[in-house]
Structure 1
Amino acid sequence: MSEKVLHSVITENAGEETKKQFSYMEKAEGYVKDLEKELGRKPTACVVTFGCQMNARDSEKLIGILTKIGYEQTESEDADFVIYNTCTVRDNADQRVFGRLGYVSGIKKKKPWMKIALCGCMMQEQGAIEKIQKSYRHVDLIFGTHNIFKFAELICTMFESDRMIIDIWKDTDQIVEDLPIVRKYPFKSGINIMFGCNNFCTYCIVPYVRGRERSRNPKDIIREIEYLAADGVKEIMLLGQNVNSYGRGLPKEDKMSFAELLNEVCKVDGIERVRFMTSHPKDLSDDLIKVIAENEKVARHIHLPLQSGSDEILNKMNRRYTKESYLALVDKIKAQIPDVSLTTDIIVGFPGETDSDVDETIDVVRKAEFDNAFTFIYSKRTGTPAASMEQVPESVSKPNFDRLLKVVQETAKKRASRFTGQTHRVLVEEVNEQDPSLVTGRMSNNTLVHFPADKSLIGEFVDVKLDECHGFYYMGTMIK
């Protein structure tokens, strides 16, 4: 897979904090060179990512800085520097991290120069920090979600100290981008447009670990996208915990809604497709629907988390919409964007949920006809209001989950086949993992397509006739 470093030099628009971090990168590079002499080879670094697209984007920043200061990237945890970028949406995500820490402790005993770092959402929880301090003393560096831009500075501190370095910020109003990034793909990239969340859904830990909503300056976003386009990027994904609320908190002279930002992004030459993730139903505006409908560059895919179809459960979840208003929104979207694909998230077994509540959710699935739904059995998240509510036993939630899933699969299968025989533009992303004579690409609506073609087409848009539907993917033939 091709990889490239982006923003490896200071841009003319860089702020003081960015310049400061580049100076720390120079200093850190000296420490890495000393380690290289000691080892007789280039030191290796491994970043293990848990969680969402925003975590994946953060990991690209970590890898960018590590590459800049002289580490060689590897996917093996038998590296000289291992960084776990953690997620804490569910309790079992924490347990997976503790399991990895136990594994690398054995490696570090054989490699005393090895460094281990933890960052991300889990590190914003005091209980997690206390457990690491007590039971995982082999960890060298801990930092959170708000000060990831200080990574180079923290690496220097780590090299200069023989104690565990902990640097956690409770919150911040700072946004520092313009740092080195290694993109996973040379032809597509994520772009952070905002950080944090103000919604406080009762099952969700995100507002507590990612902080309040902070929007990036629109000029900075457009400038970064222009840079990416000049560097060969053709598809971008605008990222935020709730992109629909973009613009809140911006100064008056820079005020811009998400619909307005999306419209401006589509004007950037070289960018051929624009995606975004994630939308909260209560904030999806008529203006946004209009921008999507009128601009072919915007992907025909909207992820619109439902969570529940029961008004009572939605109220307990603090979702701030109703079954009726959600379905009205779906109807409005489909009326104005007929070729759109809608996907969603649904939780089964939320505290207090009954069989009849699940019936309401199933009713929404049938009426909305989602192209796909990511369904979960509720998992109690310590630190959230829902954790103290009366829990639903698995003997109730599991049968309800199974019957919901059956309906989801039925409606999704019906929706998936509707493009059979049509020709669609597909961005070729990689050689097919199962059959090297095929390549795999993605349609505007996010559906995968496998078809015979040469790997030289990776990163290009091509027209593909969709011959056969196989559930959630198509087999096709390229139109030359």
Structure 2
Amino acid sequence: MSQILSTHGYAESHDMESADLVILNTCTIRAKAEQKVMSMLGALRKIKVQRPGMKICVAGCVAQQEGDHLLQRMPHVDLVLGTQNIYDLGTYIDRVAGTDRPVVATTMSKAFRIPAFLPADRKNSEPADELYSFKRFVTIMQGCDNYCSYCVVPYTRGREISRRAQDVVEEVRKLVAQGVREVTLLGQNVNSYGRKLNGTALPCTFPELLHQVAEIRGLQRLRFTTSHPKDLSDELIGCFRDIAILCPQFHLPVQSGSDAVLKRMNRHYTIANYLERVEALFSCRPDLALTTDIIVGFPGETDDDFALTMDLLERVRFHGSFSFKYSDRPGVRSCDFDGKISEEVKSERLAIFQRRQDEISLARNSAYVGSLLEIMIERTSENAFQGRTGTNHIVHVDEKTDLAPGDLLEVEIVHAGQHSLKGKVDSMH
């Protein structure tokens, strides 16, 4: 969206209150995310009273889900932009500016195809955050065909569609030419990349795409997210061994440690399948940092089911996890499931899981103390800087540096916390 707007005379702003255009790019995967959108729109209403010329756009999944209803709830919104319509953002913004009438664009089509697009020249689009001067996300696909029983994504983002490999490679090549050194390839399920482009097969698998992107001269780090366990191939696992710039970090959402719960979730794998894939990953890349997603309190989840999730945590010892309480989402099958869990029980289970995960994360991080790790510098200040390891750990260093964000540096890890590390510059390197 930033790329598109840069060709329509817009530049990113550091200050929301003085911006000509504010875009809320939204998520509806959980009820809490949707509530945050409504809260932010309430705050923006007050700003718009003072500055009526400011335009407000709601894009993404909440926009797709709510459509015209969003304007009824929030009449100060100027543009409601659905997930397949973001590529026409510039056209819609021009229409809103020209007519001063709100626009709702949420049409979805089975014939949808991600259009070719390239980053704007850097001189026309300076990022508001210095992080984005050297690291960027690159979309490789959109939508999902898995229809997990709790998930609204197939309904708000549409069926799975992959971007042409040559478009992805060309975008990364141009970003690297502009100074980007790290790229994260994005998709709802990157493992199934290449299966559908307007309903036809692409002559490129995700592992093949990784190899193509990794060959771009000047790119120093490559990451990707997110993967579905049922589609994790040996070929993709082998990429962690064979591609030098592919970071040793993998996010593999398991959601539950109970086969019975996974079946109700429509996840199409068992815990035995999952553990076999995890073993293969660590066999291929022993220094891999593995993270996951967990949903507690799914309808019908018994105490025994939750105990199995805790057992899985002990067996795998994830480096970190994103864990949430189950919440009903509009139109998904699990809304109608029996056995809903009380908020009290969900909160109790989540607290138990997160407390143990924090202990394991600290133990995992403590294993890095005394080792030398390469970090890519992300932020600098007068007497300190921070960087990120290939395993995606943030490292704080209380020393001055003449290096800039995007530079690589080897540091010695001297302290570990639950969510970050501390390091010092190794004088021998």
**What one-letter code is carried by the residue in structure 2 that aligns with 1:144?**
G
Q: Which amino acid aligns with 2:342?
A: P
- How far the C-alpha of 1:72 sits from its partner, in A, is 6.2
Amino acid at match of 1:64: S
Q: How far did 1:173 drift?
A: 1.8
Q: What TM-score results when the alignment is normalised by the length of structure 1?
A: 0.82
Amino acid at match of 2:412: K
How many percent of aligned residue pairs carry the same amino acid?
Answer: 37
CA distance in 2 between counterparts of 1:347 and 1:414 reads: 23
Q: Deviation digits for residues 378-418 of structure 1, max 9, x if unmatched?
A: 12212211122231012322222222223222222221111
Q: What does 1:46-445 correspond to in 2, within 5 Å?
A: 58=1, 60-61=2-3, 64-65=6-7, 68-70=8-10, 73-125=13-65, 128-171=66-109, 173-176=112-115, 177-178=117-118, 180=120, 183=127, 184=129, 185-250=132-197, 254-390=202-338, 391-431=340-380, 436-445=382-391
Change (3 A) 1:471 1:105: closer
Quick one: distance in 2 between partners of 1:72 and 1:375?
32
Quick one: which amino acid aligns to residue 114 of structure 2? I
Q: Can you give the 5+ residue segments of structure 2 that lack an aligned partner in the other structure?
A: none
Matches of 2:50 and 2:283, distance apart in 1 = 63
Q: Determine helix, strand or coil for the equivalent of 1:446.
A: coil
Structure 2 equivalent of residue 52 of structure 1: none
| More moved, 423-432 vs 236-245 | 423-432
Instruction: Return the TM-score normalized by structure 2.
Output: 0.91
In 2, Cα distance between equivalents of 1:238 and 1:218: 12
- How far off its partner does 1:287 sit? 0.5
1:70 to partner: Cα distance: 4.4
Q: Is the 8 A contact 1:194 1:246 kept in 2?
A: yes
User: 1:335 corresponds to which letter in structure 2?
Assistant: S
- Displacement of 1:257 in angstroms is 0.9
For residues 201-255 of structure 1, the C-alpha deviation after alignment (integer angstroms, 9 at most, x for no partner) is 1111111111111111111111111112211111110110111110112498951
Distance in 2 between the 1:468 and 1:206 partners?
39
| Matched position secondary structure for 1:160 | helix
Contact 2:67 2:106 in 1 (8 A): no
- C-alpha separation in 1, matches of 2:36 and 2:359: 33
* The 10-residue stretch of structure 1 (90-99 or 149-158) with the greater mean CA deviation from structure 2: 90-99
Aligned pair in 2 of structure 1 residues 93, 72: CA closer, same or farther (>3 Å)? closer
Is contact 2:195–2:202 with CA below 8 Å preserved after alignment? no
SS at 2:107's partner residue? coil
Report if the CA contact (8 A) 1:63-1:182 is conserved: no
Residues 91, 382 of structure 1: 8 Å contact kept: no
2:273 maps to a residue whose letter is: S
Secondary structure, counterpart of 1:456 in structure 2: coil
Give, in whole Å, the separation in 2 of the partners of 1:109 and 1:419.
52
After superposition, the CA RMSD in angstroms is: 2.0
3-state SS of 1:282 partner = helix
AA of the residue aligned to 1:174: R
Deviation (angstroms), 1:99: 2.4
Q: Which amino acid aligns with 1:147?
A: N
Where structure 1 has 5 or more consecutive residues not aligned to the other structure, the ranges are: 1-57
- 1:328 is paired with a residue whose SS is helix
After superposition, the C-alpha distances for 1:83-107 in whole angstroms (9 at most, x for unaligned) are: 2222211223223222222332233
8 Å contact from structure 2 (residues 85, 107) kept in 1: yes
1:19 corresponds to: none
